[in-house]
Amino acid sequence: MSSRHPHLPLPPAVAPDWALFLDVDGTLLDFADAPGDVAVEPGLIDTLAILHGRLDGALALVSGRNLAQLDALFAPLHLPAVGLHGLERRDDGHVEQHARAPALDGVLASARALAAKYPGARIEDKGIGLALHWRGAPAAEEPLHEFATSALIDLPGYHLQPGNRVIELRPDGANKGAAVLDLLALPPFHGRRPVFVGDDLTDEHGFAAVGSHGGFGILVGSRQPSVARYGLHDPAAVRAWLDDSIA
Ligand SMILES: [Mg+2]
């Protein structure tokens, strides 16, 4: 199978002095029509467990999912993780979280009523925020965008974060890059060369953060422009690269 990337060179193998930050959906895992339908490939959990050991614990998942979802997907692993794009963070068992806006319940109900008109569209309650998905319903893109924009009026301190066939209503003050920098200040991440692997627009914050600390980004897929230095074609290529790194 080819893992060639259209714009960027292939990354070197994972080195023992790295701190490795891995996005999940579209990076480790192939997309599914619904976020709950993703599958964790056999062997990926074993590979991550081995890498976590070889990096002396300096391997973290950095995702838009919440920590509970990440733990369920990658059980029995309990890896260091950044959830909800930085609004939840866990280093050694210590969890930090933002609070949910009271107005979010009303916005959630309205969003679900709207999505019900577009079979395949889905509203995901992320606890402190919402994700409006149209991967299964392209016609829902415009109405969900308009709804999310107008919902901001009821949600001071929130902003819109566009993603891959999704838009999120999210509290201000957190992004994947800031969360990575927080982790880099702590053991076991501190003092290592940081490397961030991700596919989405939100991962550019992570690429910039590691780039400012002597590391580099690895882009998954062909989205451009990107500040990533290396590229991998798709999640299957990421999994093959990780497997090759521990072989
Ligand atoms: Mg992703």
Residue 194 is assigned to a structural domain of this protein: yes
**CA neighbours closer than 13 Å in the CB half-sphere of residue 32:** 10
Q: Which of 117, 151, 171 is the last residue of a domain?
A: 171
* Domain of residue 63, residue span: 18-98+174-246
H-helix or E-strand spanning residue 18 = strand 18-22
Same domain, 121 and 234: no
> For residue 8, how far is its CA from the centre of ligand 1 (angstroms)?
18
> For residue 202, how far is its CA from the centre of ligand 1 (angstroms)?
8
Residue 6 is assigned to a structural domain of this protein: no
H-helix or E-strand spanning residue 9 = none
- Residue 92 pLDDT exceeds 80: no
Same domain, 85 and 196: yes
Same domain, 125 and 148: yes
pLDDT of residue 1: 47
Same domain, 184 and 218: yes
Pairing, β 81-83 against β 193-198:
unpaired
Residue 31 is assigned to a structural domain of this protein: yes
**Which of 80, 62, 11 is CA-nearest to residue 206?**
62
> For residue 215, how far is its CA from the centre of ligand 1 (angstroms)?
19
Query: How many other β-carbons are positioned within 10 Å of the β-carbon of residue 125?
Result: 15
- Residue 2 pLDDT exceeds 60: no
Catalytic residue, chosen from 23, 71, 91, 200, is 23
Same domain, 219 and 231: yes
pLDDT tier at 17, thresholds 50, 70, 90: very high
- Residue 36 pLDDT exceeds 70: yes
**Which of 173, 176, 174, 215 is CA-nearest to residue 193?**
215
> For residue 29, how far is its CA from the centre of ligand 1 (angstroms)?
9
Q: Which of 129, 150, 171 is the last residue of a domain?
A: 171
Q: What is the phi-psi region of residue 127: left when phi exceeds 0, alpha when psi lies from -120 to 50, beta otherwise?
A: left
CATH number of 67's domain: 3.40.50.1000
The answer to whether 23 is a known catalytic residue is yes
Q: Which of 171, 189, 218 is the last residue of a domain?
A: 171
Average pLDDT, the chain: 92
